[in-house]
Amino acid sequence: MVGVAAQAAERLGLPHLPPDAAALTRDKHRSRQRLAEAGLAVPRFARIASPAELEAAAERVGFPAVLKPVDGCGSQLVTRVDSLPALREAVERATREGVVDMGRELGQALLLEQYLDGPEYSLEGYVGRHGPRVLAVTEKLLGPEPYFVEMGHVVDAPLAPETRATLVAYVEAAAARIGLTLGVFHAEARITRDGPVLIEIAARLGGDRIYRLVELSKSISLPEVMIRAHLGEADPAPAYEGRLATQVSGVRFLAPDAAGRFAGVHGIEPVRALPGFEEIEIYPRLGELVPRLTDFRGRVGHVLFTAPDRATLDRRVAEALRALEFGPALTDL
């Protein structure tokens, strides 16, 4: 949708993101190439358009590695692979299952890239008159590998000042090199022993209620910044830069132990009564099929809390999770 919106705005003479930049954010292979050409750190990577290219890609990238659709999102079909047989199996699964996203079938072309060892963060920012600017750094809480399901987020991420500065500078440089000139962006990166490395960047708001966490912790409205930018304001967030967090906020996602028919969740009202409570939402209807937790589709809801510090936030979220219980009719498939 970002690409379609950019093209439509260009034809209508409205403020818009360059269509080529929009296309780059939806093509992980091309964006890797662009950043590598600029001398920015990227993982080793190779495109796999057919099974015949599989072994050459593995030789170039090595193991462990991560396989993902070139144009994917939401951790769909993203898998860690540690050997050639595992890679073959993952490619077969991606080809067999496929995923339709906004009318597009994902998994037609795949990207194999070097596995990055290190903590993962997302960075929420915008583009103003002075270029890309990061406004918040989010700590990401991932589920167990070989998948990379996002099970929680915390704002503002607890980073040493020098580490944060290095991460922010790297992502701002990456956003500029991709060609982002308007609006907001959501980037994901890991901090490895050699420094930050981009996982992906999107020319849109981050999902998973991240913009709400930023608003609660830093009193920054990313949707407002986005709207101001697309209305033509050259500097849509001058008062937000450098703003410090006044509290910690976090979201945790709910997932059953097994796939099956959804039978509801008990304990919602006690959760609402806990200190720092902001949100609880349950996604599926009763009886709806819940798939295995291999991507965001296996999550069934979330809780969102605030607290004066990280330790208190963790205690509040843990108490909420203890209070919730899935209905007994959820059975294995």
Q: What is the pLDDT along the chain (333 residues), one digit of tens a residue?
A: 787 888 887 888 888 888 889 999 999 999 999 999 999 999 999 999 988 899 999 999 999 999 999 987 767 889 999 999 999 999 998 888 766 555 556 557 899 999 999 999 999 999 998 899 999 999 999 999 999 999 999 999 999 999 999 999 999 999 999 999 999 999 999 999 999 999 999 999 999 999 999 999 999 999 999 999 989 888 888 788 788 889 999 999 999 888 999 999 999 999 999 999 999 999 999 999 999 999 999 999 999 999 999 999 999 999 999 999 987 654 544
Residue 295 phi, psi (nearest 5) = -160, -170
Return d(Cα 293, Cα 304) in angstroms, integer.
20
Q: 69: buried, middle or exposed (CB in 10 Å: 19+, 13-18, 0-12)?
A: buried
Residue among 17, 225, 54, 274 nearest 125 (CA) = 225
Sketch out the chain's domains with CATH numbers: 1-43+116-242 (3.30.470.20), 46-115 (3.30.1490.20), 248-326 (3.90.600.10)
287: left (phi over 0), alpha (psi -120 to 50) or beta: left
126, 214 contact by CB (below 8 A)? no
> How many Cα atoms within 13 Å fall on the side-chain side of residue 264?
6
List the Cα angle 291/79/155 in 5-degree steps: 80
- Please give the structure tokens belonging to residue 236: 């849509």
Number of H helices, E strands in the chain: 10, 18
